[in-house]
Amino acid sequence: MYPTNIRNCIALHSRKVIVLLLMCLPFVAQAQKNMPNHDNKRLHFGISLGFNSSKFGITHSDAFTYHDSIKVVDSPRATGFNVGIISDLHLGPHAELRFIPSLIFAEKNLRYTLIDGEQDAQNKKTIESIILGFPVSFKYKSDRFFDNFRFYGLLGGRFDWDLGSNSKARKANDIVKIDRYDVSVEYGVGLEFYFPLFIFSPEIKFATGIPNLHVPTEGLQFSDVLGKLRSRGVFLTLQFEG
């Protein structure tokens, strides 16, 4: 299991990011134009560090409607972290093609509310994943404001390969089986702060999985009530480019 305090870490670091952004604003408003030739470079490289929040989008099976022991199935969010290498291809003054191969440590939960006499009981199944992600996106940027600040938007797709699909924990008899491959649509927004030697970019991105990841397991009630499982993710990252 990943550290149980990771949610507290996200909350703490989110506050630090907000403080850092507030500290950046006076700098970009007053300083001279930094990295004036950056947009003339054909290729840009950097590193991406951040946190993710993942869950499943659930479609119930027909068996769920008449199942006599499972009342509710939902997927509360779980947190993880990710690191990636940034490669940007400059297409024009405002456009870039971006590729960020990433290593993603993620969890997804399936929470079952069971009918147990007069009181309901809950049973939560956690699916841990170590994912190689290959996102490709089109990035459109605004003009610079105050010479050292700009907005941007992202739209693209990603292919994920779950390296943890063959782990011992994932092969347990009571764990729902999940396909190791996934394809998602991604979209997001970010800010660029230009410093003398690098660009700092806080970014938030949303990923919506397309294929059904559920691999049915015959005779497992936790699998029988599920029709389709599709991935849902939110990524909060800090990016540094030269």
CATH code of residue 165: 2.40.160
Q: CB burial class (10 A; 0-12, 13-18, 19+) of residue 150?
A: buried
Is 174 within a domain?
yes
- The pTM for the full model equals 0.83
Is 114 within a domain?
yes
Residue 50, token pair as written in the block: 């951040």
In the predicted structure, residue 6 carries a pLDDT above the cut 60: no
Is 36 within a domain?
no
CA dist 126 → 5, 75, 89, 197, 210 (Å): 16, 10, 38, 42, 21
Is 183 within a domain?
yes
In the predicted structure, residue 108 carries a pLDDT above the cut 60: yes
116-122, Cβ contacts within 8 angstroms, sequence gap of 24 or more: 120/71
Is 34 within a domain?
no
For residue 16, which of 242, 241, 236 has the smallest C-alpha distance? 236
Which tens digit of pLDDT belongs to each residue from 15-74? 555 555 555 555 555 557 888 888 888 999 999 999 999 999 999 998 888 878 888 999
Question: 16: how many CB neighbours lie within 10 A of its CB?
Answer: 11
Quote the number of domains for the chain.
Answer: 1
Is 37 within a domain?
no
pLDDT for the residue numbered 142:
94
Is 148 within a domain?
yes
Please give the residue range of the domain that contains residue 177: 6-28+43-196+203-241
For residue 173, which of 125, 131, 137 has the smallest C-alpha distance? 125
Is 1 within a domain?
no
Look at residue 11 and give its three-state secondary structure. helix
